[in-house]
């Protein structure tokens, strides 16, 4: 069998992808994914968008027992930032998920993104000026998503909309508030490797641009620009590369700060159809 090797390498400021096609054997190597800091405010290690999401969740789930001051339950001072029953953030998340059996502290079915929000708020509770926290309005955000923000021209939610961009039906439970905010403000800088648009050149020279749905050693499945599902045999490709520029415009092109907060509040309500 003739040995046929191709090496396509894409280098840029962020992660490096190397695609090696060797007689049908492909290696996809992802090296280094420096976390980017864009529109990112910190209170210590916690990010503003996560804290604000936590404030909202606290209001809906915790306030009635622990109060705004965090000290309404005897022997518990949430604002102290230190707890009897949990020391690490991971333990605290576990406690919020399981509740405390045998006490009034209830179990909850929080997503990882919600737990990140709650813990970010609990840990910073004593430093936060609540009057300065501006929470978005998810109802307005949902209108912006299909209207002025034009998000629905590329994204699908709960079965509606095109497949050319990632389906956002459960994005609110799989990404944290801070991650989503970065995606909105700087799509290219925060693009995940799996979401990179791909460009495949077939042996006859035809170029297929699309979005990667799946990839294994021998094949790659993409949705092309016409929303057709294509399964490509890697050994028959002349070239396979991933683009590093996001096709998504930053939300600031169409929306102001308040509108982006509304959109973020809406994205955080998307938890998939269950
Ligand atoms: C129905 C009332 C109730 C609700 C709602 C509730 N809690 Fe509690 N929580 C309690 C009680 C009571 C305790 C103390 C249990 C014990 O140790 O005896 C407690 C304990 C805790 C502790 C442990 C404190 C420590 O020092 O170990 C944390 C943290 C906590 N709650 C956070 C929360 C958060 C965050 C929420 C909302 C997601 C919440 N709680 C919702 C009643 C409640
Ligand atoms: C021109 C098409 C297009 C438009 C318009 C667009 N997006 Fe995107 N979006 C994409 C593509 C393609 C990706 C995947 C690549 C990336 O992450 O940048 C993406 C990624 C995302 C992600 C990250 C997904 C993940 O897996 O973490 C979010 C969140 C998002 N878009 C939300 C929005 C919102 C909200 C709007 C409206 C303000 C919008 N997009 C407008 C094409 C678009």
Question: pLDDT of 260-271, one tens digit each?
Answer: 999 999 999 999
| pLDDT value for 131 | 78
From the list 109, 22, 96, the residue with the least C-alpha distance to 66 is 96
| pLDDT value for 274 | 58
- Strand 25-31 to 16-22 pairing: antiparallel
| pLDDT value for 164 | 86
Total count of domains within the chain = 3
Nearest CA to ligand 2 atom 17: 191
Q: Are residues 150 and 252 in the same domain?
A: yes
96 pLDDT band, cuts 50/70/90, is: very high
- CA 182, 41, 93, 138 torsion: positive or negative? negative
Nearest CA to ligand 1 atom 34: 62
What mean pLDDT is reported for the chain? 84
| pLDDT value for 57 | 96
Ligand 2 center to 249 CA (angstroms): 8
Question: pLDDT of 42-81, one tens digit each?
Answer: 556 899 999 999 999 999 999 999 999 999 999 999 998 7
Task: Tell whether 101 is covered by a domain.
Answer: yes
Task: Tell whether 273 is covered by a domain.
Answer: no
Helix spans in 99-235 (H): 112-124, 138-146, 171-174, 177-185
| pLDDT value for 32 | 33
Domain residue limits at 252: 138-190+248-267
Q: Which residues pair with 221 in a beta bridge?
A: 214, 231
Ligand 1 center to 126 CA (angstroms): 17
| pLDDT value for 5 | 31
Q: Are residues 147 and 214 in the same domain?
A: no
What residues flank ligand 2, with Cβ below 6 Å? 149-151, 153-155, 165-166, 171, 175, 180, 183-184, 187, 191-192, 195, 246-248, 251, 263, 267
CATH code, 232: 2.30.30.100
Nearest CA to ligand 1 atom 32: 96
| pLDDT value for 41 | 54
Q: Are residues 146 and 262 in the same domain?
A: yes
Task: Tell whether 272 is covered by a domain.
Answer: no
225 pLDDT band, cuts 50/70/90, is: confident
Which of 132, 148, 170 is the C-terminal boundary of a domain?
Answer: 132
Task: Tell whether 55 is covered by a domain.
Answer: yes
The Cα 78–Cα 68 span in angstroms is 10
Q: Are residues 78 and 103 in the same domain?
A: yes
Q: Taking the model in full, what pTM does it have? A: 0.82
Task: Tell whether 274 is covered by a domain.
Answer: no
Q: Are residues 114 and 160 in the same domain?
A: no
**Rounded (5°) CA angle 231-237-239:** 120
From the list 143, 124, 141, the residue with the least C-alpha distance to 133 is 124
Lowest mean per-residue pLDDT among 49-53, 103-107, 125-129, 151-155? 125-129
Task: Tell whether 58 is covered by a domain.
Answer: yes
| pLDDT higher than threshold 90 for residue 119 | yes
E strand or H helix at 52, and its extent? helix 48-61
DSSP conformational letter for 36: P
| pLDDT higher than threshold 90 for residue 193 | no
């Amino acid at each position: 069998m003739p040995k046929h090797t191709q090496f396509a390498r894409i280098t840029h400021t962020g992660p490096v992808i190397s695609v090696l096609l060797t007689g049908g054997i492909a290696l996809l190597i992802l090296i280094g994914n420096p976390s980017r800091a864009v529109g990112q405010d910190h209170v210590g290690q916690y990010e503003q968008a996560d804290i604000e999401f936590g404030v909202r969740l606290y209001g809906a789930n915790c306030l009635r027992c622990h109060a705004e001051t965090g000290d309404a339950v005897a022997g518990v001072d949430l604002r102290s930032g230190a707890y009897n029953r949990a020391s690490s953030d991971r333990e605290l998340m576990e406690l919020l998920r399981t509740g405390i059996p045998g006490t009034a502290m209830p179990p909850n079915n929080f997503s990882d993104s919600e737990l990140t929000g709650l813990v970010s708020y609990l840990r910073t509770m004593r430093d936060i000026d609540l009057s300065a926290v501006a929470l978005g309005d998810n109802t307005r955000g949902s209108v912006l998503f299909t209207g002025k923000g034009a998000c629905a021209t590329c994204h699908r939610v709960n079965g509606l909309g095109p497949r050319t961009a990632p389906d956002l039906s459960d994005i609110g439970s799989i990404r944290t508030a801070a991650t989503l905010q970065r995606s909105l403000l700087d799509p290219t800088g925060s693009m995940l490797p799996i979401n990179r648009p791909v460009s495949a050149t077939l042996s006859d020279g035809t170029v297929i641009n699309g979005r990667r749905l799946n990839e294994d050693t021998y094949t790659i499945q993409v949705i092309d620009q016409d929303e057709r599902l294509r399964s490509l045999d890697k050994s028959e490709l002349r070239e396979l590369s991933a683009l590093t520029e996001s096709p998504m415009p930053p939300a600031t092109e169409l929306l102001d700060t308040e509108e982006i907060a509304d959109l973020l509040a809406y994205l955080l309500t998307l938890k998939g159809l269950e």
